[in-house]
Chains A and B, each alone.
Chain A
């Protein structure tokens, strides 16, 4: 029972266009969501997060949208750059659980074409 799902294993986008990565979750107790970027042979790097009390959070080219009723979040990258090519993981957490452990999706490989 995968609680966090990223249904698109890969995505290709032209440089300068928008990249939209999607993530669905099943556990309504999750109240904090994060996106991480991962390059080969490196650990995941934090990108952006959102609390369940918000529906949008923006940081430069990156925006995360949360639709709680649909249990869906998305990451928008505008404009996409070749350096954004990486695997993106969404993660969910229950901050009331006491451990703040993450449940990760399986990742989406983004390729930005120059």
Chain B
């Protein structure tokens, strides 16, 4: 596709519910990142994939957060037993290994946990 796409754009979950957020990176982009942006804050790194390998998951806030990219393209961020503090915008970004270091961001998924 032309850019990074994410779905759903908005998700409302009841506390304790599991959610899955999808990211379609730019075709051919090897690197994929997930960030969490709380209200009034900058995005915070969650995890990084190179192809299907998850090379850095140091930013995942708890073991309720799990990300996968099984075929090296689409990625899913799963949050189990959602809590109110998980409410945030979840941003996905992708990057080509060629060219500069800039990452291209999707529009984000706004998650609201009630």
Instruction: Name A's B-contacting residues (CB within 8 A).
Output: 4, 6, 32, 34, 36, 41-46, 49, 89, 91, 93, 95, 98-107
Q: What are the 10 A-B residue pairs with the smallest beta carbon separation, nearest first?
A: A104-B42, A43-B105, A99-B56, A101-B45, A46-B102, A99-B48, A44-B105, A43-B107, A106-B42, A104-B43
A34 near B105 (CB under 8 angstroms)?
no
Q: Which residues of A contact B91 (CB under 8 A)?
A: 43-44
B41 near A100 (CB under 8 angstroms)?
no
A100 near B45 (CB under 8 angstroms)?
no
With A89-B43, A106-B40, A106-B42 in contact, is A100–B95 under 8 Å at CB? yes
Count A-B contacts at CB 8 Å. Answer: 62
A16 to chain B, nearest CB (A): 29
1/0 contact string of B100-114 vs chain A (CB within 8 Å): 111111111000000
> What's the interface size class on B, roughly?
20 to 34
- Minimum CB distance partner of A2 in chain B: B42
8 Å CB contact of B103 from A41, A46, A95: A46
A45 near B105 (CB under 8 angstroms)?
yes
CB interface residues, B 82-110, toward A, < 8 Å: 91, 93, 95, 100-108
